[in-house]
Structure 1
Amino acid sequence: MSSILTNDGASIALQTLKHINSGMATVQSEISTGRKVSGSQDNAAVWAIAKTMEADVVGYKQVSASLALGSSTVAVARSAAETVTDLLTEIKGGVVSAQEENVDRVKIQANISALRDQIGAVVRTAQFNGLNLLGNTDTTAGSGSEAVLGFLQRDSAGVRGVDIAVSRQDLGTGAHAIAATGGTYTSGVDSATLNATRTGTIDASGVTVAAGMAFTLNVFGTDADDSTFTQADLRTTTAAAETRAEMAAQPVSYVARDGDTATDVLRELSNRWSSYAVKSGFDEGLLSMSVSGTDLTVSSTLTDGSDTLAVSLNALGADAGNTIGGGLETLASLDVSTREGAEEALLNIENLLQTSISAASDFGTEQNRLATQSNFNDTLVDAMTSGIGTLVDANLEESSARLQALQVQQQLAIQALSIANSAPSALLGLFR
């Protein structure tokens, strides 16, 4: 049926043309913006995912900046620690030379003093953006490490930053000090007595170490006739048990840094006993110490049933207000001007070298870790950026082909609409 009032063909052709024009508008938008999803109206779900990922990409770029800053700070500290190691190696050369009798020890000591001052200057200036990782004498818990933002973690609870902890390595030369009064004092945390049984173990597994805690080893020897050793020389306390008043003056003492463990404390006390023994001229087999985990093994080749050595570990809480010393504390007292001092210096310089070598090694490890994390973050940003592009970017080859096809369809739709619009005029012929 034909009608001059209702033209179904024109309506169909018009709807087709509108649909084609809408498609052309979409394709032209993709070509002009380069995106198939440029707003939430295009595809709300995909747009929301893309925007979330774009925010993460921005966040990771800031993380990369944080890692770069942290890596630069660690690099400065590592370089300084390596320089300190080189200077200590030079000092060792002087110390070894001072072992000879026919050398000018005074001049050697002057050279060592100059190198020691240079070490102090290197340690003080090894900072980047105001942060120096070669100092760790703060008693505040957690002050022994610095946090570097390493990556972002997204889970059901949301997004949070995850830090990489970079430990400080103290290479200062300041002296430690134990407060003369106050604090929570524990005498005889554990002890061992050497007699005919010439080996004993001091167990420090029950000690919780905190920054600013002080520890001492007191030795109480018994040899009434001074046949094996001079009794007075092997008594660092008036009785077998150390008193609180005696602690501050103990020759074998250490104040813990933040991050120290019981093993670190025992190792430091063992080293300081060795230095004290050499300085005091004790027989090599009189009392030796070794550390394994939280055990300090003490041994002697000279004690017997009547000539004994009692060794005790004592602790004083950080609440006493103790002062933490530098990692190279014994460098300040290095003196080769005498034969005894030269012998003590030879022992101490080895411990100092190991401290600086360990610090440089640890900084190198941390720097590599930060570099690895930075490289991973860059790779992750690239992958996320590519993923966002897959979700929202337009395929321009496809869009170009679609546009050409739609242009042809548009022309055909216009022609079809023209034909449909001319159909009612054909009805006029019926009334002629």
Structure 2
Amino acid sequence: MTSIITNASAISALSTLRSISSSMESTQAHISSGLKVGSAKDNAAYWSIATTMKSDDKALSAVQDALGLAAAKTDTAYNGLDTTIDIVSTIKAKLTTAREPGADKDKINKEITELKNQIISTAQSSSFSGENWLYNTSSTAPTTKTMVGSFTRSSTGSVSVGTISYDTSNSVLIDTNDATRGALTKAVTGYGTYTNGTAGSTGTYFLINASSTTSAAGSVVSISSTTTDAQVEQMLSAVDTMLKGLTDAASTLGAANNRIDTQNSFVKDLRDTITKGVGRLVDADMNEESTKLKALQTQQQLGIQALSIANSSADSVLSLFR
């Protein structure tokens, strides 16, 4: 039936054209933004997951920055400690030389004094961001430092921040307030000549005199022409004990540093994985979208032609009355 009141063909063609135009708008939005899920109305589930993961990625970025700061602190302390170990090893060698008959102990002592000054300078310089884990001037004892190491989200959705801890009391070399808290300012027992496995004599020594408020017992490692061979051996034994302590401290600090580096690499990889995962959920496939846009443009042109044909049907009705 042909009606001049209701043009069913035109209505159908117009509805199709509206649908095509709507699809074109959506496709063009995907192409311009690069996202197939740009808002919750596109896909509520994927949008919610992507938004949460993007938020977590920002938190992980902050964790990565914190790990960088932690790595800088541990690197600074480790480098200072490693340098100190080399210097103390040199002092140990100087004391060994002083044990030789006819050695000029006064000149050797001058060298040892300069080496000790270098240790003080190294410890004072091993500071980063206002923190020095080798040189303590505070009246309070060195504490355990906590550094942000991770950000996690549980299966229930709750979040938590993980930390990496290091006890700085293990690495303090010099303490100007309490000498007993510094590895090189506290008293260490040194043993003299061993006979059949038994120490012949003992003495108590410390390497650095920092003029601490609470001083250490014993004597500072220092030699002169009047220093006996037994005393030199005692100092040598005490310095060797100190060196072992420094080596243990460096091992502990190195392990913490290695953990920070490992965690930093993991966080980088995790952020990359999250970015790729979010992309799979919300990114538009540009090849697919461009193909779809070309097809919709063709459909739009055909829809316009169909609407034009449907609208011309009224002209054929007029011809019946001529």
Q: What TM-score comes out, normalization by structure 1 length?
A: 0.63
Q: Does structure 2 conserve the Cα–Cα contact (< 8 Å) formed by 1:173 and 1:330?
A: no
Structure 2 equivalent of residue 172 of structure 1: 173
Q: 2:77–2:132: 8 Å Cα contact kept in structure 1?
A: yes
Structure 1 window deviating more from structure 2 (34-43 vs 117-126): it is 34-43
Match of 2:279 in 1: 389
Higher mean displacement: 146-155 or 20-29: 146-155
Alpha-carbon deviation of 1:361? Answer: 2.5
Q: Deviations over 1:332-387 (max 9, x none)?
A: 72133322321210110111111222222222222222111111111111111111
Query: Are the equivalent residues in 1 in contact too, given 2:136–2:174 (CA < 8 A)?
Result: no
The match for 1:59 is 59
Aligned to 2:152: 153
- AA matched with 2:316: A
Match of 2:205 in 1: none
Over residues 275-295 of structure 1, what are the superposed CA-to-partner deviations in whole Å (9 max), with x where a residue is unaligned?
Answer: 3x659x9996489xxxxxxxx
Q: What are the superposed Cα offsets for residues 229-256 of structure 1, whole Å, 9 maximum, x if unpaired?
A: xxxxxxxxxxxxxxxxxxxxxxxxx967
Equivalent position SS for 1:431: coil
The aligned length equals: 303
Q: 2:254 aligns with which of 364, 383, 387?
A: 364
The more displaced of 381-390 and 40-49 is 40-49
CA–CA separation in structure 1 for the residues paired with 2:96 and 2:303: 100
Q: What TM-score do the two structures reach when normalised by structure 2? A: 0.83
Question: What SS does structure 1 have at the residue aligned with 2:305?
Answer: helix
Q: Deviations over 1:134-161 (max 9, x none)?
A: 24687868x5322221111112252222
What's the CA shift for 1:4? 1.3
The answer to whether the 8 Å contact 1:13/1:413 transfers is: yes
- Which of 287, 292, 308 in structure 2 is aligned with 1:402? 292
Cross-structure match for 1:100:
100
Structure 2 residue identity aligned to 1:145: T
Confirm or deny that 1:418 pairs with 2:318. Answer: no
Q: Tell me the residue number matched to 2:207.
A: none
Provide, for residues 296-340 of structure 1, a one-character-per-residue CA deviation record: whole Å limited to 9, x for no partner.
xxxxxxxxxxxxxxxxxxxxxxxxxxx888xxx789721333223
Q: For residues 169-318 of structure 1, what are the structure 2 equivalents within 5 Å?
A: 169-174=170-175, 272=188, 274-275=189-190, 278=192, 285=198
Q: 2:235 matched to which residue of 1? A: 345
Q: Is 1:430–2:317 an aligned residue pair?
A: no
Contact 2:14 2:307 in 1 (8 A): yes
Q: Distance in 1 between matches of 2:172 and 2:104?
A: 29
Question: Alignment partner of 2:147: what SS?
Answer: strand
**What is the CA–CA distance in structure 1 between the aligned matches of 2:302 and 2:175, rounded to whole Å?**
91
162-171 or 71-80: bigger deviation = 162-171
Match of 2:221 in 1: 334
Counterpart of 2:268 in structure 1 is 378
- Are positions 1:45 and 2:45 aligned together? yes
Distance 1:324 1:408 in 2: 90
Does the aligned pair in 2 maintain the 1:136–1:170 contact within 8 Å? no
Cα distance in structure 2, aligned partners of 1:286 and 1:35: 79
Identity of matched residues, %: 35
Relative to its length, the structure with more helix (as a share) is: 2
Confirm or deny: 8 A CA contact 1:330 1:348 kept in the other structure. no
Distance in structure 2 (CA, Å) of the matches to 1:175 and 1:351: 21
User: What's the offset of the Cα at 1:106?
Assistant: 2.7
Question: How far is 1:118 from its partner?
Answer: 1.5
Q: Which amino acid aligns with 1:356?
A: L
Cα distance between partner residues in 2 of 1:350 and 1:170? 17
Partners of 2:302 and 2:157 in 1: how far apart?
56
Deviations 1:392-412 (A, max 9, x none): 111111111101111111111
Which residue is equivalent to 1:19?
A: 19
Give the 3 Å change call, closer, same or farther, for CA 175–346 of structure 1 in structure 2: farther
SS at 1:394's partner residue?
A: coil
The answer for unaligned runs of 5 or more in structure 2 is: 201-212
Q: In 1, are the aligned partners of 2:133 and 2:172 still within 8 Å (CA)?
A: no
- Asked if the contact 2:146/2:163 (under 8 Å) is kept, the reply is yes
Do the aligned partners of 2:77 and 2:134 also contact (CA within 8 Å) in 1? Answer: yes
Structure 1 residue identity aligned to 2:122: V
Contact 2:192–2:233, Cα closer than 8 Å, also in 1: yes
Q: Give SS of 2:166's match.
A: strand
C-alpha distance 98-175 of structure 1, shift in aligned 2 (>3 A): farther
Q: 1:431 to 1:255 in 2, by over 3 A?
A: same
3-state SS in 2 of match to 1:37: coil
C-alpha contact 1:78 1:363 (8 A) present in aligned 2: yes
Partners of 1:278 and 1:137 in 2: CA distance: 33
Distance in structure 2 (CA, Å) of the matches to 1:336 and 1:158: 63
SS state at 1:166 partner: strand
When residues 412 and 330 of structure 1 are mapped into structure 2, their CA distance, relative to the original with a 3 A threshold, is farther
Q: Judge conservation of contact 2:98–2:108 (CA < 8 Å) in 1.
A: yes
Match of 1:182 in 2: none
| Structure 1 unaligned residues grouped into runs of 5+ | 178-253, 258-268, 288-322
Provide the secondary structure at the position in 2 that maps to 1:9. helix
What's the CA shift for 1:38? 1.8
Call closer, same or farther: CA 1:331–1:79 in 2, change over 3 Å.
Answer: farther
Q: What is the SS of the residue equivalent to 1:41?
A: coil
Residues 192 and 199, structure 2, Cα contact 8 Å, conserved in 1: no
In the superposition, relative to structure 1, how do residues 21 and 124 fare at CA in structure 2: closer, same or farther (>3 Å)? same
Tell me the residue number matched to 1:122.
Answer: 122
